[in-house]
Structure 1
Amino acid sequence: MPRRPGPRALLARPELGAVVGAVAVFVFFAACADSFLSPAGLSTVLYAASTIGIMAVPVALLMIGGEFDLSTGVMVTSSALVSSMSSYQMTANVWVGVGVSLLVTLAFGLLNGWLLVRTKLPSFIITLGTFLMLTGVNLGATKLISGTVSTKTIADMEGYTSARALFASQLTLGDDLRVRVTILWWLALVALATWVLLRTRAGNWIFAVGGSAEAARAVGVPVARTKIGLYLGVALCAWISGQHLLFMYGVVQSGQGVGNELIYIAAAVIGGCLLTGGYGSAAGAAVGALIFGMTSKGIVYAQWDPSWFKFFLGAMLLLATLLNAWIRRRAEAAR
């Protein structure tokens, strides 16, 4: 009969601090906001968490592998813009634009990973450069092609309805509980990433590369291939998020996404990922995204001034980082 995990094993889990924080945030807003626990309120919270969590999961894996990506926020917008403008300009089925967007977005991820392993420059510098370039391209190309800062609507084009069903549909459970399909995407990505990290050779490579790339290379780990694969994973999830952004509204604003990269990183850090790499979990990043969702919507339901939202997020980031560091020290001392 398998043994249940003891207190020491639980203390060693990277997401423990995030779970404690999530419970505290949930109880706090449940007491302060009347509509927080309503079906509509919970649906809104989960939707907000899922839009962050879809990107927080691959960002967490990248951080476990010892790298950063500051281009994720604008890459999501780039993916949506490519899909929309390709479909509109070619007057083709929307799925053609979706396919073109997938190829282009994966190329962005491949470029980040290739530059990293070839130049040996810090990922902070490389992806900062990609962030700036994509920000300029998003705005400049949209103005050049559409004449404005937003794309033309594709809501009346062939294939839009089926694409919307995959990327932006809504399921109704019971009378009031509405579940966006992004929540299902989010949970599937968490399950897949957790399986990769804990049950596959690639997961061992990710932890090894994040702990020490040189030591990992010395024992035969394909360091370059692992890092490029992580950036491709980030790009794939940016494509999923970008398609949701497009098919949720039918149009895309070219300036969207700036600043979201910090939210994805913060969710991963709150979830237990170390900035130095080699430690963390996909489940922790998911819990970090849930904390963001509860806080952003809880403030609204409590009828507080939303200007304080960033203050609460910053405070949670600091507290979660301190709590995660304390839990890790306790776990190491208990070994």
Structure 2
Amino acid sequence: MTDSPNQPAAVDERIKERSPLREALIRPELGGIMGTAIVFVLFLLFASDSGMFNSQGILNWSQVSAQFMIIAVGACLLMIAGEFDLSVGSMIGFCGMMIAIFSVTMGWPVWLAIIVTFALCIAIGALNGFIVIRTGLPSFIVTLAFLFILRGFTIYLPQTLERKTIIGGVKDAAEGDWLAAIFGGKILTGLFQWMGDAGIIATFERGSNIGKPVVDGLPMLIVWAIVLIIFGHILLTRTKFGNWIFASGGDAEAARNSGVPVNRVKILMFMFTAFCACVFATCQVMEFGSAGADRGLLKEFEAIIAVVIGGALLTGGYGSVIGAALGALIFGVVQQGLFFAGVESSLFRVFLGVILLFAVILNTYIRRIITGER
């Protein structure tokens, strides 16, 4: 006999219903959301009177956070794909130095120097990925080697060409350059002037700048961070390629058997990580008007920490660009907040260690929930 039309459909016993609490716990952004809320509450209590949350203070920690966000987006996608890139910090220094050498030492137009440098660094990122794929070596080892190679060239080249490790004059060379403005300019200046005139944000009360807003525009560094976060989030959550990234990091062999081009995905993620490092470096060079051989030190570890705080698993296959952005926001707020609160800045490293340990413990617990491990 067939079932009656009015009879309720049988429930497959193999399907387990998830409670709303469990659904919330396995969200990769959970740690980043909790950390962000705690950090903001603490600094609202202890540093609200120091100017941390006026227009200038917000700009300060927003710019620092944006720096972390730019490299965290690339590191996040690569980690979800199951790989690491420890050469990010050295790539930042190398990229900035090559832009300075091409534009100042060799006299190239800045736009050409930027394009050639991006192409060179992205090619190095592809080489990283190619070596990892072809040799089967851990990406930790391969990119550690490139950390030293790139840092060595970053020191050797300016010493050989200029007899120094800092090359200035980039800002003068970039004057009026169309591509330099995309990395070192500001937008919405009219809006900020209107807010200053309306008394919404502070303005200068003395000197030649009287009446001008203290914050006169949105730096392109922040714009780039927002654009990359949106791009990374959409790529990861709304496209087939995003599913490939998760599959490549979750179980590469099963992904290959399902038709996922795992090798191509991983190489492209190494290239995207190099691209993000170049964006960071170019914005930094345009801001300071110079390139230094020590730029980007330890940034690779800070990017990874931001991603882990944001909920990504070190084993790959799980994570969130939004979570990584929140981890980077925590970095920027704490780094500047300690200054505003009058706390010794060296404690920032202590904070990093504590929050990293907390994030790893939380992420391990989440992984056990997902996999059903005990």
Pick from 258, 282, 299 the counterpart of residue 219 of structure 1.
258
Q: Which runs of 5+ in 1 are unaligned?
A: none
Q: CA RMSD in A?
A: 1.8
Offset at residue 10 of structure 1 (A):
2.9
Pick from 29, 33, 39 the counterpart of residue 43 of structure 2.
29
The answer as to whether partners of 1:146 and 1:152 remain within 8 angstroms in 2 is no
Offset at residue 328 of structure 1 (A):
4.8
The aligned residue for residue 284 of structure 2 is: 245
Q: State the structure with more CA Rg.
A: 2
The aligned residue for residue 209 of structure 2 is: none
User: Which 4+ stretches in 1 moved above 6 angstroms?
Assistant: none
1:165 and 2:181 aligned: yes
| Segment drifting more, 219-228 vs 318-327 | 318-327
Tell me the secondary structure at the aligned position of residue 296 of structure 2: coil
Q: Higher helix share goes to which structure?
A: 1
Offset at residue 276 of structure 1 (A):
0.4
The aligned residue for residue 106 of structure 1 is: 122
Cα gap change, 1:76/1:160 in structure 2, threshold over 3 Å: closer, same or farther?
farther
Give the number of equivalent residue pairs. 329
The aligned residue for residue 321 of structure 2 is: 282
1:203-218 correspondence runs (5 A): 203-218=242-257
Tell me the secondary structure at the aligned position of residue 156 of structure 1: helix
TM-score (norm 1): 0.93
After superposition, give the CA deviation of every residue in 1:76-115 in whole Å (9 maximum; x if it has no partner): 1111111111112332211111111111111110110111
Pick from 329, 347, 351 the counterpart of residue 312 of structure 1.
351
Offset at residue 19 of structure 1 (A):
0.4
* Aligned residue identity for 2:100: S
Tell me the secondary structure at the aligned position of residue 279 of structure 1: coil
Cα gap change, 1:158/1:41 in structure 2, threshold over 3 Å: closer, same or farther?
closer
Pick from 56, 61, 84 the counterpart of residue 45 of structure 1.
61
TM-score (norm 2): 0.84
The answer as to whether partners of 2:73 and 2:229 remain within 8 angstroms in 1 is yes
1:63 and 2:63 aligned: no
The answer as to whether partners of 2:220 and 2:283 remain within 8 angstroms in 1 is no
After superposition, give the CA deviation of every residue in 1:32-54 in whole Å (9 maximum; x if it has no partner): 11222212111111110000110
After superposition, give the CA deviation of every residue in 1:228-280 in whole Å (9 maximum; x if it has no partner): 00001001111111111111111111122121110000000000011000000
* Aligned residue identity for 2:83: E
Q: Which runs of 5+ in 2 are unaligned?
A: 1-18, 202-214
Offset at residue 330 of structure 1 (A):
5.0
1:20 and 2:34 aligned: yes
Tell me the secondary structure at the aligned position of residue 20 of structure 1: helix
Q: Which whole-Å CA distance do the structure 1 matches of 2:183 and 2:169 have between them? A: 16
Q: Which whole-Å CA distance do the structure 2 matches of 1:49 and 1:61 have between them? A: 18
1:255-274 correspondence runs (5 A): 255-274=294-313
Q: Which whole-Å CA distance do the structure 2 matches of 1:7 and 1:40 have between them? A: 39
Pick from 164, 168, 171 the counterpart of residue 155 of structure 1.
171
Pick from 234, 239, 246 the counterpart of residue 195 of structure 1.
234
After superposition, give the CA deviation of every residue in 1:279-315 in whole Å (9 maximum; x if it has no partner): 0010010000000001100000001111111001111
The aligned residue for residue 147 of structure 2 is: 131
The answer as to whether partners of 1:78 and 1:134 remain within 8 angstroms in 2 is yes
